[in-house]
Amino acid sequence: MNTVRVLIPKGRMFESIARLFADAGFPIMLAERTYRPVIAAPWLDAKIMKAQNVAQLLELGSHDAGFTGWDWIQESGAAVEEIIDLGFDKVRIVAAVPLGQNEESLQSKTITVATEYVNTAEKWLSQAGYTYRILRTYGATEVFPPDDADMIIDNTASGQTLRDNGLKIIATLLESSTRFVASAKALSDPDKRQHIEELSMLFRAVLDGREKVMLEMNVAEEQFASLVAGLPSMRSPTVSPLYDGAGFALKIAVKVSEVPVLIPRLKKLGATDIVEYDLRKVVP
């Protein structure tokens, strides 16, 4: 069997990815203080690594596929193939300075910039015309200003942590989310490529399923045409006749965001016995 070696990031990304695998049908079991999770698929071999290292390890060819943020792919410059943007852990990489800092004055001196994103920071700072010195950090970057740095370049989801530490955002360098990626070497192997593409299909089905729900309802025959005309649907509704010619039963898959508006509309159009339930996967 051609095993696909997968890297899963530790920390905040792990829970989202573990849930994705479970919803796709491959539960992950990870004992405490271990880095070798067991996935319920004999052709998958997983290892826990820092997100910062995933892209480079894939480029080196020691693993076949993995999960990491777009920010770390850009930071490392590693050549990997993006399979799917999962949309998890959305963050922005931003430049921030202390509140009250005159931004123009930073251009007139050599500034100290604290960051984990050394390559990303150097590229932006050079393009923006700063004279700078990089101070590499290993977490908690926001605590460096104003005593130990004039500026930070860091990731943020809402910006609240920056505000709590007296910082303001002056630029967004890039936007990031979790990506499922693979090495070119793995994709050149037909068996591994097939497994990776099948995983991607299942992941997409899970993500699509999370965005939709199924609505079931009954409708009398005389109201059927007007109700169907008012339905959104992925393609067309599933329709079944009710017993003894009492009307029809309909099923439609709709976006979760549409439900609060749609259910009152369906009632007005004559729908009865409306039932809503979650979808596990949606495969077009």
Please write the tens of the pLDDT for every residue from 116-153: 999 999 999 999 999 999 999 998 899 999 999 999 99
* Whether the Cβ atoms of residue 61 and residue 19 lie closer than 8 Å to each other: no
Residues with Cβ within 8 Å of residue 110, at least 6 apart in sequence: 131, 132, 133
Residues with Cβ within 8 Å of residue 227, at least 6 apart in sequence: 219, 250, 266, 269, 270, 271
pLDDT digits (tens, 9 = 90+) for 41-68: 889 999 999 999 999 999 998 899 999 9
Q: Burial-class residue 115 by CB neighbours within 10 Å (0-12, 13-18, 19+).
A: buried
* Whether the Cβ atoms of residue 225 and residue 270 lie closer than 8 Å to each other: no
- Domains, the chain, ranges and CATH? 4-87+178-209 (3.40.190.10), 91-176 (3.40.190.10), 212-278 (3.30.70.120)
Tokens at residue 132, please?
């700078």
* Whether the Cβ atoms of residue 158 and residue 91 lie closer than 8 Å to each other: no
- pTM of this prediction? 0.85
Sheet containing strand 81-85, strands side by side:
44-49, 4-9, 65-69, 178-182, 81-85
| pLDDT higher than threshold 90 for residue 74 | yes
pLDDT digits (tens, 9 = 90+) for 171-230: 999 999 999 999 999 999 999 999 999 999 999 999 999 999 999 999 998 999 888 888
